[in-house]
Amino acid sequence: MENKNALVGYVESPKTEIRFSLTLQELDSLKKFVTEGRDGKPGRVYLTLKSGLSKEKKAYNLISVYDPNAPKDGSSHRASGNVYQEQNIPF
């Protein structure tokens, strides 16, 4: 029987670079999402950059805040509060 999923050749993954900017107001608002520092290390803000195409085939880019220490019970790991998720982020 012939293998229909034979892998041949060589592929290099493309380099991806994503740049974004935040206003001073947006930076200030991120302070409320700083996690507790541990072992003498400072707290951090964790961000996820999401991009894709909407159902209307329009490109979107957004940044959401998440808490890696949130309970992993299947619920969302997004941080609470106002999260910047705009389609007109300048990047």
pTM (two decimals): 0.55
The 10 Å CB-count burial string (b at 16+, else e) for 37-48 is eeeeeeeeeebe
Q: Tell me, rounded to whole angstroms, the distance of Cα 12 from its chain centroid.
A: 24
Element (H, E) at 24: helix 24-30
Percent of the chain exceeding pLDDT 90 equals: 16
Report d(CA 30, CA 47) in Å as an integer: 10
- Give the pLDDT confidence score for residue 3 in this predicted structure: 64
pLDDT in tens, 54-63: 899 998 888 8
